[in-house]
Structure 1
Amino acid sequence: MTKKPNIIYFVADQMRCDALAHMGNPASITPNLDAVLEEGVSFRNAYCQNPVCVPSRCSFLTGLYPHTTGHRTIHYLQNMGEPNFLRTMKNNGYEVIWIGRNDVVPGNYSKEDYCDAYYDGVHKEDRKAVTKTKSFNHGFKLDGDADTSVPGYYSHYIGKLSEEQAHQGGMSGSDWGCVDAALDYIERKSKEEGAKPFFLYVTLAFPHPPYGCEDPWYSSIDRTKLPPRRPSVLSLKGKPSMLTGIAEKQDLDAWGEANMNELRATYLAMVSRFDYQFGLVRDKLKECQLYDDTSIFVFSDHGDYTCDYSIAEKVQNCFDDPVVNVPLIVKPAAQFPCRPRVTNALAELVDLSETVCDMTGVKTEYVQFGKSLLDVLAGSETHKDAVFSEGGRIHGETWAMEKGHGKASLYWPRLSTQESEGPEHTKAVMIRMGNLKYIYRLYEEDELYDLEKDPQELDNRINDSAYGEAVLKMKSRMLDFMVETGDLVPDRKDIR
């Protein structure tokens, strides 16, 4: 093998795939991410393995599925000793620099086992040995004494931020601090003689709600170019009770179409800001002559409804494309063959760590379930026959409800619905094969969507006999998947 490549993960929080201009969104402005297509590959059909932060990150930072290690809620992070790809890379000679969000390792763990340095975006110094840090706030007032009876309160909408709001020490400000830390590191690294290869994990906080952005991005989005949104879930049949419960409580239809369009435009402005921040990192790599030696992965942990189905935010056990179809753009180091393009190959975030292993020669100390993307980068349009996402709980798992949010919380519509012991928050597994998406639901009616005929997932065809054979095939494939990936044998032999 030639020189080991540097690796960068540049990660968004809650960015949907169709928010990118090169994915056909006429109102989107993402020139830096679009330009990667001159040298890399963008995956139109990449899927996260869970539609909320912690389970998704515990999956893509291991190469394991959420059910393999039991990660299905944002309140329970990795256990001590669980597989973690950052630690694997550190133990195999890479300098691992972790910048930004956590949502993987509990706050009372130091990060010294996982990385060589950790920068949270708020403090300038390395924080890897700090076991308790101040939680990120949003950087502006959200709840408190607000009138929850006003239509649109639960929209998470803020709108235009001032420069002061955008750069103070909350989530927005931490993103700028994270980018500064990444630029500083690249500059320092370029001056080291005989430096080890690096794994730079930069994980930003936006475009996660609340939906707010400063100029020039806020004013740059042409509201007249916004694509049509998916209609209210309350007007549809066959959609899951979790979605209808949230839609009833958020009541965004009463807020009005004009307001929802402002939210959608602000979200795209946040995406455009993320694009600009990525451009800064890319340009610094080029300036420091590290670009050709670096494989860059740009992706998001999950997506966002952004008023599709008249819902804001996300949900733990629903698998519509706005929340599970995520951006995935890969610019490989120059040593790897690449046919630049947008590919339709099915892919998963669980594939990332195996791809890096294939690029670097690193082998994990555990079995992982991803598949390397190198063949797709080189030109193949065939990768996986099926992709999966999963979430929810069984009845009685009260600790998975994430209780504790009253009506003053913006998250009350979702979290109060999660507390129901009806079918709303219960287990479900999604499989996509070709253009068909099947969702098995443990306690309520399953779903089936023909994405070629119904790309907005409005018409649940689960009871259509014309799809009966396809459903049986997908159920069989899902069973194979669950049996194959259901657990891991410990990598030790204990004394009895």
Structure 2
Amino acid sequence: MDKKPHIIIFNPDEMRSDCLAHLGQNKAAKTPFLDEFARTEGVSFRNAFCQNTVCVPSRCSFFTGLYPHVGGHRTMQHLLRSHESSLFSELKDAGYYVWMNTRNDLIAGQIPGLMEKHATEIYYGEECPKPPGPEKKDFRGQMGDKNYYSHYEGRLLTDANGIHYSDDDGVVDAAIERIFHRVNDQPLCMFLGLMYPHTPYAVEEPYFSAIDRSLLPRRAAAGRDKPEMESALKNLMAMDSYTEQDWDELRACYLGMCMKVDEQFRRLCDALKEAEIYDDCAIFFLSDHGDYAGDFDLPEKSQNTFEDCLTKVPLLIKPPKGELVDAGISDSLVELVDFYATVMDYANTAPSHDHFGRTLKPVLRDRSIKLRDYVFCEGGRMPWETQADEYHPAAGSSGVIPKTSMYWPRQTAQLNADAHCKGTMIRDYFYKYVHRSNGRHEFYDLQSDPLEENNVYGESEHEAKTLELKLRLLDWYQQTCDVVPRDCDRRLSDRMMWAKIKQDCPPHLEKKVWEMIRDGKGMAYIRAQLTAGADE
């Protein structure tokens, strides 16, 4: 198509892949609009994987097409800086009107004006009455109680009209307002970065009670030789007295949050249809990472563990009308870096830097196509990288995070450099290998152990496959270890250039030579021009 399509990016935070009902992994899940969206208009990727399991590193990856290790974006405190571009800045430069809300977890906030370089308009939120809180006011209880670090709040109260108007609702309404009242005729790039279903686990009716607890699948249990980080988190969270019913309530609440996200996405799509631009839109629905949500007796997430509940995420894409689409579910292994490549492809915009994403257009046209044999995810730190844990930056000058903080267990666990070691996952359709800098590697046979409960690294029957994945991991690191900038530097300054060439330059050509030097012309080019001038 000649006209650039509108790009709509709907990005819930911390949403697991199995929360999508149409994927059939969780009978309790309810996502009716997304189910129909995938069935009739787009492609839902069953095997889409993030490249880091926390917000900032994941987004710095999928909004640039680069893996976290390429630019050192492995922490919550290292965001894109002035020398780095993003999908948004590149689309803005290509003529798009880029609208976003402030939950981007992408662009360094301390650099004045940097956010505005990546967006045409930023929605900062509106002053509105604070919605009612949780039904149970003292939901955490006292320190030491089982709920204190659970992140579980439960049912949220509603106002007199039966509404709980959240910040996410405000973001969706602001986006709808811009859809109906365009500033100009530029193609839109809209990014809605939602909070849900990120913790705390809390949602209002009807979503809270809509999930049938009896349909919840079995939770993954803490099995053999699991990562040290998971043990550290459990010890610090002190949730040993959590019953199966407690976990079911937490999981059902989380699924209720995902159900609300589904409804918010429906509202946005309905607005695009009413504004008569839906057919002109390439629409992307994706999450940055998943959530334990009770698996392995844990809530929330971890920065260096790689079970599917954290790494496998929703990714649904609807192309603009006129583009071929083989609607339904694709089993193809894909990475979120492919999101970047696909958006740029539909926007008919050349990336400003080399990257590692692969456009998913071929799969959208034919779901049987497989683009990748392996997917990768990485996180953690080396012992000396205290700037890469979440404790020291959050503690600041005081050096201490109070135990009353909901995130105290996760931040404190990262002080254990052995538990917070660097880890890298490689996965194919049937096996997963995790290489750790502390030597405690992991291997899972996903056919016999789909919940990844038992680490069978070192067992002789898996020796050949383990070696294969180790070698493929080495290949991947070699191929992706860096990105060489496309623009070239000169080894000589202007004055150095002049010092080397002035003895060969006639006085009447000095001005011309200086113009060539300042224009970035090389030594060989300038000497050739001098020779040509001498021959004239």
Does structure 1 residue 197 correspond to structure 2 residue 201?
A: no
Indicate conservation of the 8 Å contact 1:352/1:372, yes or no: yes
Alpha-carbon distance in 2 for matches of 1:355, 1:252: 42
Alpha-carbon distance in 1 for matches of 2:459, 2:140: 49
- Does residue 414 of the first structure (1) align with residue 406 of the second (2)? no
Please state if 1:256 is matched with 2:243: yes
Pairing 1:73-112 to 2, within 5 Å after superposition: 73-109=75-111, 110=113, 111-112=115-116
Q: How does 1:140-155 map to 2 (within 5 A)?
A: 147-155=142-150
Out of 256, 270, 274, the residue aligned to residue 283 of structure 1 is: 270
Letter aligned with residue 68 of structure 1: V
Partner residue of 1:215 out of 186, 195, 205: 205
Distance 2:171 2:101 in 1: 6
Matched residue, 1:383: 371
The separation in 1 between residues aligned to 2:439 and 2:125, in whole angstroms, is: 43
Relative distance call for 1:92 and 1:485 in structure 2 (3 A) is: same
| Kept after mapping to 2: 8 A contact 1:49/1:324 | yes
The CA deviation at 1:144 is 12
Which residue number corresponds to residue 177 of structure 1? 170
Question: Which is greater in Rg?
Answer: 2
Q: TM-score, normalised by structure 1?
A: 0.91
Q: What amino acid sits opposite 2:122 in the alignment?
A: Y
* Code of the aligned partner of 1:240: P
Of the structure 1 ranges 203-212 and 408-417, higher mean CA displacement relative to structure 2 is found in: 408-417
Partner Cα separation in structure 2 for residue 28 and residue 459 of structure 1: 26
Cα distance, 1:153 vs. partner? 1.4
Instruction: Describe the shift of the 1:89–1:346 C-alpha distance in structure 2 as closer, same or farther (beyond 3 A).
Output: same
Gaps of 5+ in 2: 396-400, 492-536
Task: Answer whether contact 1:100 1:204 (CA < 8 A) is retained.
Answer: no
Q: Flag the 1:491–1:21 CA change in 2: closer, same or farther, 3 A.
A: same
Give the match for residue 17 of structure 2: 17
The AA in structure 2 aligned to 1:59 is S
The correspondence of residues 4-153 of structure 1 with structure 2, limited to 5 A, is 4-24=4-24, 25-37=26-38, 38-109=40-111, 110=113, 111-122=115-126, 147-153=142-148
Residue 253 of structure 1 deviates from its aligned partner by 3.2
Measure the CA separation in 2 of the matches of 1:490 and 1:371: 19
Who is 1:355 aligned against? Answer: 342
AA aligned opposite 1:407: K
Partner of 1:293: 280
Cα distance, 1:122–1:444 mapped onto 2, change above 3 Å: farther
Corresponding residue SS for 1:476: helix
CA deviations over 1:285-338 (Å, ceiling 9, x no partner): 111111111011101010000010000000000000111100001111112111
Q: Provide the rounded CA distance (Å) in 2 between the counterparts of 1:143 and 1:368.
A: 48
Name structure 1 gaps, 5 residues minimum.
Answer: 125-135
Q: Where does residue 218 of structure 2 map in the other structure? A: 228
What is the distance in 2 between the residues matched to 1:348 and 1:137? 37
Which of 389, 401, 417 matches 2:389? 401
Q: Aligned to 1:43, what secondary structure does the other structure show?
A: strand
Instruction: Give yes or no for contact 1:449–1:461 (8 Å, CA) kept in 2.
Output: yes
- The equivalent of 1:437 in structure 2 is 432
After superposition, the CA RMSD in angstroms is: 2.3
Give the deviation of 1:100 after TM superposition: 4.2
Q: 1:418 to 1:322 in 2, by over 3 A?
A: same
C-alpha separation in 1, matches of 2:489 and 2:31 = 53
Q: How far apart in 1 are the matches of 2:461 and 2:380?
A: 29
Return closer, same or farther for 1:100/1:335 CA change in 2, 3 Å cut-off: farther
* Cα deviation, residue 490, structure 1: 3.0
Matched, 1:242 2:229: yes
- Return the offset for 1:434: 2.3
In structure 2, the residue matched to 1:371 is 358
The residue number in structure 2 matching 1:329 is: 316
Please give the per-residue CA displacement for 1:169-203, whole angstroms capped at 9, x wherever unaligned: xxx721011000111111113x95xx121111111
Aligned residue pairs total 475
By how many angstroms is 1:43 displaced?
A: 0.6
User: What's the offset of the Cα at 1:139?
Assistant: 6.9
> 1:23: Cα distance to partner?
1.6
Whether the 8 Å CA contact 2:55–2:288 is kept in 1: the answer is yes
Greater RCO (CA < 8 Å, at least 6 residues apart): 1
Q: How far did 1:252 drift? A: 2.5
Residue by residue over 1:122-157, the C-alpha shift from the partner in whole angstroms, topping out at 9 and shown as x without a partner, is 459xxxxxxxxxxx9997799999521112211100
Read off the aligned partner of 1:426 and give its amino acid letter: C
Q: Distance in 1 between matches of 2:428 and 2:47?
A: 11
**Is the 2:176–2:268 Cα contact (8 Å) retained in structure 1?**
yes
